[in-house]
Amino acid sequence: MKDLLVSQSLIKGFTDYKMEKECGLLFKAKYLDGLQTPPSATQKLGQFFEYLSTGALPKGGVAPECEMVYKGTPKEKPSADYERAILSSEMYQDLISKLGIEVIETGKYICDPVNKSHGTIDIYAKWERQGEFNPNWNGEPYCFIDLKYTGLIDDKWNEFGWQVDSLPEKHGLMIQGVHYKSLAETTMAIADIPFYYFLFHSKNPDYVKIIEQKIDETRASEHRILVQKTRDMVLKELETGFKHYPSLLKCKECPLFESCEYKTTLPMVEVVYY
C-alpha cells in the first residue's frame, strides 16, 4: 500500500465504521485498496451538473452522460431531472460572471505530505469583489468554492440538509471546510482562506444559496490532530484486521457481495440494552 494520506471522506468513512454504520471490509476496499464504487442515481446527477458547470470529470475519468427520455424517437430529450441540471449549470456560469469570480483551477488537488493529508477542491478562485456580497469577508482575495447540487438546501433535520442554523451540529458536512482551510494554510500559506458552499437546488434551477464556513484556530488545530489520530487508527486496524458488519440492506448494495464470505441475505439481530 502507498503512504496513507487522509482525506475528509476517509475520516467520515472511518467514523461511520467505528460507529458500525459502515462495514470494515468495504471501508478497506474503498479507501485502502482503491475500489471505485458505482455512483448512485443522485450522485450521477450531481456529477453531470458539476461536469457541465466546471468541466470536472468524476473519479473514474469518464464524462457523465445526460439521461434521455423517449430515446430513438423524435420526442427524445433530457429527462426532467437532467433538464434542471442543465439549467442550473447555466445559472452557475451566469453567477460566476456576475459575481466577478475568476476561476483559477477546478478539481484542484492539494496534498500536505507533512501532515499526511490531502483532498481535491472543486474550485480555487480569485474573488476580489467578495466584500460586495459578503459583509463578513476577511479581505483574502483567494477562495475555495465547493459546489453542491441538492434538494435539501433548506432542510434542517436531514443530516445532509443545508439550513444554516443547523449546520454547526452537522459535523459530517462541516468537516469539508475545516479540511480544505487547513490544507490551504499548510500548503499554500493562506492562513484563513474563505471557504464557500455554492448550493444549487436540484428541484428549482432559480434557487442558489451561498454559505461561507468560518472556523476558529482551535478547530483547525483540532482537525490536524484528528487527521493524525485517524491515520494511526486506520493503520492499526489494518494490522489487526477490519471487522465485517453485514446487514441485509448494506450487503445487498455492496460491490463486494459476490465474493464476500461474510455477506448476509437475511436480517441480522440487533441488540438493545434497556
For ligand SF4, the binding residues (CB under 6 A) are 23, 25-26, 244, 246, 250-251, 254, 256-257, 260, 262-263
User: Three-class SS of residue 103?
Assistant: strand
Phi, psi dihedrals of residue 130, rounded to the nearest 5°: -50, -40
User: Rounded to an integer, what is the distance from CA 69 to the centroid of its chain?
Assistant: 29
Nearer to ligand SF4, 143 or 251 (CB): 251
For the record, the C-alpha cell of 242 comes out as 477490519
Looking at 118-161, list the stretches that DSSP marks H as alpha helix, in order from N- to C-terminal side: 130-133
Nearer to ligand SF4, 6 or 23 (CB): 23
Phi, psi dihedrals of residue 104, rounded to the nearest 5°: -90, -45
CA distance 105 to 112: 18
Query: Shortest Cβ distance from residue 30 to ligand SF4 (Å)?
Result: 10
Nearer to ligand SF4, 56 or 260 (CB): 260
Query: Shortest Cβ distance from residue 262 to ligand SF4 (Å)?
Result: 4
Query: Shortest Cβ distance from residue 225 to ligand SF4 (Å)?
Result: 30
User: Three-class SS of residue 247?
Assistant: coil
Nearer to ligand SF4, 84 or 263 (CB): 263
Looking at 99-216, list the stretches that DSSP marks H as alpha helix, in order from N- to C-terminal side: 130-133, 171-187
Nearer to ligand SF4, 37 or 228 (CB): 37
Query: Shortest Cβ distance from residue 4 to ligand SF4 (Å)?
Result: 20
CA distance 232 to 230: 5
Looking at 55-125, list the stretches that DSSP marks H as alpha helix, in order from N- to C-terminal side: 80-98
Query: Shortest Cβ distance from residue 12 to ligand SF4 (Å)?
Result: 17
Nearer to ligand SF4, 217 or 253 (CB): 253
Query: Shortest Cβ distance from residue 239 to ligand SF4 (Å)?
Result: 19
CA distance 32 to 34: 6
